[in-house]
Amino acid sequence: MRIEYQLRGLSPRAVADRPMDQHLEHLDRLIPISSAHVVLEHQQNAAPAFCASVDLAVPGPDIHAAARDHTLEAVVLKVAQRLEEQVEARKNRQQLRLKGREQCRRVQSTGKKQP
């Protein structure tokens, strides 16, 4: 997975530990991510001042999440949570679709619906 950071209004030292990496590695275990584009922004004249958005290139439609909060740590946690919710929802839809196909195959092969 390739992770690209774009900083706006933040010094590189402020995010030297690459705050989204650990969250993205966790998501990569759930769904294969080919690349991630992370934008971290600090707007001094806005409230809340910190903004983050992440675009994930994954099989199927790409996943996008954004958040705004008063601290960098809080905004990173919010956007990570929103990404995880979307990944989980996608995986649940896939499982339901596969389960539905499996039931259709059993009905077709036996002529009766199996419990």
Q: Does domain 2-83 have CATH number 3.30.160.100?
A: yes
* pLDDT number for residue 112: 56
**28-42, 43-57, 76-90, 91-105: range with lowest mean pLDDT:** 91-105
Tell me the domain boundaries of the chain.
Answer: 2-83
4: left (phi over 0), alpha (psi -120 to 50) or beta: beta
pTM for the structure as a whole: 0.82
Residue of 29, 13, 42, 25 whose CA lies nearest to 80? 25
Share of the chain above pLDDT 90, in %: 67
